[in-house]
């Protein structure tokens, strides 16, 4: 069942915030992956400061949402896991930015 429409139309942008991206760790991961072509697990871990387990679970959420994809390749017979933002992920991040800007512009103070 879809969530009810907010009665106050000013709150509409708030309801459109993508909760998958809104989580700070996932926002950092997606933001990083959008700014590079692709990166391996260790690079993303170093840049975001997340632990391996944390990064793994957030990656699973982002992958399930179709925002990132994981590919494996072998370099000199050593496996390398490459993470990359998908077209859908980039579009979602753009939309998230627009929605957040709307929300923040509407805040008092």
Partner 1 sequence: MSVTDSGRGDLDNRDLQSPAAADLQRRAYRALNEDGLVDFSVGLGLSFAALYIGLDRLAGVDMAAWSGFFPILVVLVSRGLRKRFVYPRIGYARVRSASPAILLMATLTLLLVAGLVVMTIYARRGLRPPAALIPWMLRVFALAGAWTLALMGRRTGLVRFNIHAAVILVAALASAAVRNTDYGLLLMLGLPGLALLVTGLVCFFLFLRRHPKPISEATHATS
Q: Within a 10 A sphere around the Cβ of 29, how many other Cβ atoms?
A: 28
CA end-to-end span of the chain, whole Å? 36
**Contacts with 92 (C-beta within 8 Å, 6 or more apart), sequence order:** 18, 20, 21, 30, 65, 67
Taking CB under 8 A as the rule, which mask of x and - marks residues 14-53 in contact with partner 1? -----------------xx-xxxxxxxxxxxxxx------
Toward partner 1, which CB reaches closer, 12 or 31? 31
Under DSSP, the state recorded for 3 is: P
Toward partner 1, which CB reaches closer, 14 or 32? 32
Does position 56 bind partner 1 by CB under 8 A? no
Does position 63 bind partner 1 by CB under 8 A? no
Under DSSP, the state recorded for 49 is: T
Q: How far is the CB of 108 from partner 1 (least distance, A)?
A: 23
Separation between Cα atoms, residue 80 and residue 9, nearest integer Å:
48
Phi, psi of 39 (to 5 degrees): -150, 155
| Binds partner 1 by CB under 8 A, chosen from 1, 78, 104, 107 | 78
Name the residues that contact partner 1, by CB under 8 A.
31-32, 34-47, 69, 71-73, 75-76, 78, 80, 82, 84-88, 90, 93-94, 97
């Amino acid at each position: 069942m879809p969530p009810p429409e907010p009665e106050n139309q000013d709150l509409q942008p708030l309801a459109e915030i993508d909760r998958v991206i809104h989580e700070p760790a996932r926002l950092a991961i997606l933001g990083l992956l959008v700014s590079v072509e692709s990166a391996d697990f260790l690079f993303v871990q170093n840049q975001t400061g997340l632990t391996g387990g944390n990064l793994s679970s957030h990656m699973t959420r982002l992958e399930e949402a179709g925002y990132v994809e994981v590919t494996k390749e072998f370099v000199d017979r050593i496996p390398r896991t490459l993470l990359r933002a998908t077209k859908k992920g980039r579009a979602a991040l753009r939309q998230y930015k627009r929605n957040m800007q709307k929300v923040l512009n509407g805040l008092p103070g």
